Amino acid sequence: MGFFDKLRAELIDIVEWIDDSHHTLVWRFPRYHNQIKNGAELIVRPGQLAVFVHRGELADTFEPGNYQLTTDNLPILGTLQGWKHGFDSPFKSEIYFVNTTNITDLKWGTPNPIMLRDADFGPIRLRAFGTYVLKANDPGTLLKELVGTDSQFETEEVAELMRSVITSALADLLGESKISALDLAANYRELSDKLRQAVVERIDDEYGLDVPQLFIVNISLPEEVEKAIDTRSSMGVIGDLGKFQQFQMGKAMIAAAENPAGGGAAQGMGLGMGFAMANQMVNAQPFAPAPAASGFAPPPPPPVQQAWHIARNGQTQGPYSLPQLSQAIAAGQVPPGTFAWTQGMSAWTPVEQVPQLTGNGSPPPPPPGI
């Protein structure tokens, strides 16, 4: 092989790009001393654009198709190289293939919380994340502003820029929308559309990129705030806290009664819970004092009730009021053989032998003056 044959073999005669990376935006065709053979074949596949760059200046652009490179289809490059009598020799030029397909599965998120003032919670911090689709919209601007002299430009190289642009636009959008934090989830679609428009306005003319789709997947509150909301929701589901507490006490009493290994401690716990429930029921009774008749003094305050104590299995419990202890005995929560005592009694006495507790006692004398 002669010298000229070897040189001709080193000249490029087929220019094409087969991409299987799915995340490459721009790829520069490799060439020997920038020399491309006269009449070389250019293959531009669907989803690609081929851009010729001569000495730092953008020249001709080719859309998908099969081309034979001649002076007829390289008018701008011919003007830049100064071909006066046709295109008869190898020429030097850089060829960039630009991916014009939609690059999907790109993710964004807020690196730091966004501070906002909420109508319900006041100052809060919000985090958000989602996905977006990126596409090369203006190859010339993309090459000038981002690619430069890189031989290969990936989406990872623009990911940090896109994250900053999206986060900044989201902060402005949330501040302007005045939507309550609890209502954000119901407006994800509307917010996503507005966010995409705001992002496109910032990157289209400046970087030659487009965002055909952008989605907000989640906007979240700080963990401690979410726990507080969960607690508040649980209280709302429970409803009447008094009835819920009585229900819980009843379940505990049944569990204590069914546990024979608990002994006196279990019985004492059951009695204590029973008295607490009786106290709640007594205190829950509505009391509306009758209005005093005109010209008469209001009635005196009711007398102080006696404090009662009970003893069983060597344990003393109390004090309890007479109504509380009577209701517990009637409900079977105080078994026979339990001793009771109150001030004025000489000794501990079984509850079944105390007239006040069995309902057989005579009423006390009326107050003086009645």
* Interatomic CA distance for residues 39 and 154, integer angstroms: 31
Residue 8, pLDDT score: 47
Residue 205, pLDDT score: 86
More confidently predicted of 362 and 58: 58
pLDDT at 24 over 80: yes
185-196, pLDDT tens digit by residue? 899 999 999 999
* Interatomic CA distance for residues 323 and 234, integer angstroms: 34
Residue 9, pLDDT score: 45
Best mean pLDDT range from 71-85, 208-222, 318-332: 208-222
Residue 57, pLDDT score: 83
What the block records as the tokens of 155 is 């989406």
Whether residue 171 contacts residue 112, with contact meaning beta carbons closer than 8 Å, is answered with no
More confidently predicted of 107 and 3: 107
Over residues 289-304, the mean pLDDT reads 59
pLDDT at 348 over 80: yes
User: Does domain 241-277+306-358 sit in CATH 3.30.1490?
Assistant: yes
267-287, pLDDT tens digit by residue? 555 556 555 555 655 555 554
No. of H helices and E strands in the chain? 10, 17
Residue 266, pLDDT score: 53
Percent residues over pLDDT 70 in the chain: 66
* Interatomic CA distance for residues 259 and 266, integer angstroms: 8
Angstrom CA distances, 222 to 36, 177, 178, 338, stand at 59, 20, 19, 55
What is the four-CA torsion angle of 194, 199, 200, 203, rounded to 10 degrees? 170
What the block records as the tokens of 139 is 């190859």
1 — pLDDT class (breaks 50, 70, 90):
very low
pLDDT at 305 over 60: yes
> pLDDT averaged over the chain?
78
6 — pLDDT class (breaks 50, 70, 90):
very low
| Least confident among 15-19, 78-82, 94-98, 292-296 | 292-296
Query: What topology is assigned to 103-225 in CATH?
Result: Tetrahydropterin Synthase; Chain A (3.30.479)
Over residues 171-181, the mean pLDDT reads 89
| Least confident among 44-53, 138-147, 169-178, 352-361 | 352-361
pLDDT at 364 over 60: no
More confidently predicted of 366 and 26: 26
223-236, pLDDT tens digit by residue? 877 777 777 666 66
261 — pLDDT class (breaks 50, 70, 90):
low
* Interatomic CA distance for residues 30 and 23, integer angstroms: 19
For the chain, give every domain's residue range.
3-99, 103-225, 241-277+306-358
